[in-house]
Amino acid sequence: MVTDCNNIKAKVLTAALPYIQKYTGRTVVIKYGGNAMIHQELKKAVMSDIILLSLVGIHVVLVHGGGPEISGMLKKLDIPSRFIDGLRYTDEETAEVVQMVLAGKTNKDLVSLIGQLGGKAIGLCGIDGGMIKAKKIQGDYGYVGEITEINTEPITQAIQSGYIPVIATVGTDCKGQTYNINADTAAAEIAAALQAENIITLTDIRGLMRDISDENSLIPVVKIDEVETLINDGIISGGMIPKVKSLKKSVLSGVEKAVMIDGRIVHSILIEMFSDEGVGTMFMK
C-alpha cells in the first residue's frame, strides 16, 4: 500500500514536469477574490500554490480584490453597499474605506500569510510608483476608475528581486484623486502590460455557468466573440460581467491563456497549471 501511494505521488510529480518546463521564466497573473479569501484553509491552499509556482521559477503576480472585507467594514460603519452593473458604487466615504481595507489590512494579511508559509512577497497598491493610472469611469459609479496606463516597473522590480508582487487595485489620476478599480479589470490590464503567459481568475462557482443554479451547466470553453451574446441572453450577468469582459480583453491583448476557475477547490491553481484537467472555463479567440 505504501509503495502504491509513493508510485501515485511520483506519477503526479513527473506528469507536472512538462508544464513546469513550459512556464518557468514566464509570467502568470492570478486574480484572487471571493470565498477563497474568506475561508482560512482555502486561503492557505491558494497561497501555497502561489509559493510553489514561484519556487519552480514562474513569475507570479497576485492581484486581489476584497469585496467581502469591504462590505463587512462598510456594514460596521453603517454605510450601505450598492452595486451597479457588477461594480461597487463608490462615493467619497466608501472610497476611503476601500483604500483602507484593500491597501491596508487585506493586502498586508496576504503578504504576511505568504511569509508564514515560506514564500517572499511584497505588498503594493496601484498608487505605489504610479503603477495604476486611472480616470473616472463614465456613468454614475462615483469614484470608480477606468485604467488609462499601467506602469510595470514596480512589478518587474519586485519579481527581479525575488518577491511575489501582491497588488491592491486602487489607482490615481494626475491630480492625485484615488479611484476604486475593479480587481478583475486591473488583473487583465496588468496581464496585458506584462505580456503574461496566463491569467487565472478565481471564482466562487465552477466557472461560467449556463444556469447558475445548476452545477452541471458549466461552459468549459467560450470564444470571445460569443461574450456579448451571452451577456444579452442573461447567462453572463451582475458581477460576472466585469470578470468575463476582463478575460476577453486579456485574450485580445495577447495573453495566451485566460481561465476562470473554481476557487472553492483546494489547489485548483496547481490543477489548472500542471495538468490537462481544466477546473473552470477557458476563454479563447
Tens of pLDDT along the chain (285 residues)?
Answer: 555 565 666 676 778 888 899 999 999 999 998 767 788 888 999 999 999 999 999 999 999 988 888 999 999 999 999 888 878 899 999 999 999 999 999 999 999 999 999 999 999 999 999 999 999 999 889 999 999 999 999 999 999 999 999 999 999 999 999 999 999 999 999 999 999 999 999 988 888 889 888 888 899 999 999 999 999 999 998 888 888 999 999 999 999 999 999 888 889 999 999 988 778 999 998
Flag whether 237 is in a domain.
yes
| Region class of 93: left (phi > 0), else alpha (psi between -120 and 50), else beta | alpha
Q: Are 265 and 192 in contact (CB under 8 A)?
A: no
Flag whether 148 is in a domain.
no
CATH number at residue 274: 3.40.1160.10
Flag whether 276 is in a domain.
yes
Task: Give binding residues as ranges.
Answer: 66-67, 88, 180
Flag whether 55 is in a domain.
yes
Q: How far is the CA of 43 from the CAs of 70, 151, 163, in angstroms?
A: 17, 28, 19
Report pLDDT for 222: 92
Flag whether 213 is in a domain.
yes
How many domains does the chain fold into? 1
The rounded distance, in Å, linking the Cα atoms of 115 and 266 is 20
Query: CA 40 from chain center: how many Å?
Result: 17
Report pLDDT for 166: 98
**196 Cβ contact partners less than 8 Å away, ≥ 6 residues apart:** 26, 27, 28, 29, 61, 190, 255
Task: Give binding residues for substrate as ranges.
Answer: 66-67, 88, 180
The rounded distance, in Å, linking the Cα atoms of 77 and 83 is 18
With DSSP H G I counted as helix, E B as strand and the rest as coil, what are the percentages for the chain, rounded to 5? 45, 25, 30
Q: Where are the alpha helices (DSSP H) in the chain?
A: 2-23, 35-38, 40-55, 67-76, 92-99, 107-116, 153-160, 183-193, 227-232, 240-252, 268-273
The rounded distance, in Å, linking the Cα atoms of 228 and 230 is 5
Report pLDDT for 8: 63
Report pLDDT for 141: 92
Q: Which domain holds residue 116?
A: 26-76+95-123+182-284
Flag whether 174 is in a domain.
no
Flag whether 16 is in a domain.
no
Report pLDDT for 35: 67
DSSP letter, residue 101: I
Flag whether 231 is in a domain.
yes
Tell me if the pTM is above 0.75.
yes
